[in-house]
Structure 1
Amino acid sequence: MDCDSSDRASLLKIKEQLGNPDELSSWLPATNCCSWDSGIICSDTGHTIQLEAMAGMYGPIPSSFAKLCHLQFLFISGTSISGSIPDFLVKTNLSALSITNSKLNGSIPESLSLLPNLRVLDLSGNMLTGSIPPGLFRGGPV
């Protein structure tokens, strides 16, 4: 199945906002984003539900992630992604957020506790400060 056209547009905007890294060279407008060779997994309906990104990326977390409302899993590791963790991530459907070994700074926003399905949060290897917002502790097995 071809990917959702609005997801493709959002992903292409993310690529642009990340500085068009070579690692995302397969992300081309006239192709099926579900078949791009860069860690994208789509649902049966063509919506992007998982994105894995590594090295070669820099700058803040792109605002276009907010338009991927079906996104469940976001894994970014070993990049030069910098800046703070944006509040707009609550517009996704994340159940796992892992941005590790990058250059994020600032504090972990309380808004992440508004993600009802968030079960995995790994922000290790960044330059974050402050405490973990209490709303992220939901109890249950560790």
Structure 2
Amino acid sequence: MKKNLFLSLLISSLFSLSLSELCNHHDKKVLLQIKQDFGNPYLLASWKADTDCCTQWYQVECDSTTHRIISLTIFAGNLSGEIPPAVGDLPYLQTLVFHKLTNVTGPIQPAIAKLKSLNFLRLSWLSLTGSVPDFLGQLKNLTFLDLAFNRLSGSIPSSLALLPNLGALHLDRNRLTGSIPESFGAFQGNVPGLYLSHNQLSGKIPASLGNLDFGAIDFSRNKLEGDASILFGPNKTTQIVDLSRNLLEFDLSKVAFQSSLTSLDINHNKIYGSIPQRMTQLDLQFLNVSYNRLCGKIPVGGKLQSFDYSTYFHNRCLCGAPLESCKKA
């Protein structure tokens, strides 16, 4: 009886031990270093040396077969300091997220360049400074890159166009300057949604961008100039275009819109001409052409009269419903 009890306790002990060792020893050591580098914050309180990181730690995920760390997702809490270089020592990491953390500062950690398996990188709503690093173009497996809502400055590296699998690029809400890279008209593989709004980008939109079919484009609240009509075309499938609050200047009446367009915002520019009749054929859910230099009668039909006067007001001589009736000659 005692022998059976001893065996049961031994098996139970070994089973518990095997559970505690699911987490790879190297990965666990790296995570504990990250916790220490952040000053052992409450947000990472579940990261305890005597528990299994695969089954008992929040913000991390292990591969079910190899038990290597494949996801590190830290968000919505109090965390202070720079992103630790130890993040680069998780070789199987596929997802890395630092999002909406109170005081994560400093540059984008260069050690991230070592994470060759990374496909999802979000460093957003932080207080990161410095430039958008050129090395991000080396992370060929990235499908999503989000660096929005930081204090990043300098120019956009052209190397980002070398990412063959990218589905979305978010660089919005920073302090970026310079022009949109010419290379963004030659993405190698997927054509990502481009979100570059709320920066200080200047110059003309590269003509090369007209060669690609972007799913979504948001260049709003910059200092872009010139002709943006290259972003439109009957053979494109772009659904959302936001060019508002720039210095763009082109003839709207000559633009051939894609039938896929559901949202168009071009307010606060220097766009002239008239609203083309073919806009009545679009299934627009949102439209804003206010504060431009448009003239003529708003075409009747489609969705154009479903929007109120604020969609059209402050143009040079635009008239017709929902604005005032056009004056007879």
TM-score, L = length of structure 1: 0.74
Amino acid at match of 2:147: I
SS at match of 2:129: strand
Question: Is contact 2:145–2:169 with CA below 8 Å preserved after alignment?
Answer: yes
Amino acid at match of 1:50: T
Higher relative contact order (CA 8 A, sep 6+): 1
For residue 172 of structure 2, the aligned residue among 116, 124, 132 is 124
Q: Distance in 1 between matches of 2:142 and 2:56?
A: 21
**5+ residue gaps in structure 1?**
none
Identify if the C-alpha distance between structure 1 residues 7 and 122 changes in structure 2 by more than 3 Å, giving closer, same or farther: farther
Larger radius of gyration: 2
Identity, % of aligned pairs?
Answer: 36
Alignment of 1:21-36 (within 5 A): 22=41, 25=44, 32=53, 36=57
Alignment of 1:9-48 (within 5 A): 9=30, 12=33, 16=37, 22=41, 25=44, 32=53, 36-38=57-59, 40=60, 45=66, 46=68, 47-48=92-93
- Answer with 128-137 or 113-122: which moved more: 128-137
Corresponding residue for 1:71?
Answer: 118
Corresponding residue for 2:162?
Answer: 114
Question: Is contact 1:34–1:48 with CA below 8 Å preserved after alignment?
Answer: no
Identify if the C-alpha distance between structure 1 residues 84 and 5 changes in structure 2 by more than 3 Å, giving closer, same or farther: same
Question: Is contact 2:120–2:144 with CA below 8 Å preserved after alignment?
Answer: yes
SS at match of 2:164: coil
Amino acid at match of 2:143: S
Provide Cα deviations, 1:77-128, integer angstroms capped at 9, x if missing partner: 2111110011122232211110111111001101111222122100111001
Q: Distance in 2 between matches of 1:11 and 1:96?
A: 27
Q: Does the alignment pair 1:83 with 2:130?
A: yes
Corresponding residue for 2:213?
Answer: 140
Q: Does the alignment pair 1:49 with 2:94?
A: yes
**5+ residue gaps in structure 2?**
1-21, 69-91, 188-211, 216-329
Identify if the C-alpha distance between structure 1 residues 88 and 33 changes in structure 2 by more than 3 Å, giving closer, same or farther: farther
Question: Is contact 1:7–1:48 with CA below 8 Å preserved after alignment?
Answer: no
Count of residue pairs the alignment pairs up: 139
Q: In angstroms, what is the RMSD of aligned CA positions?
A: 3.4
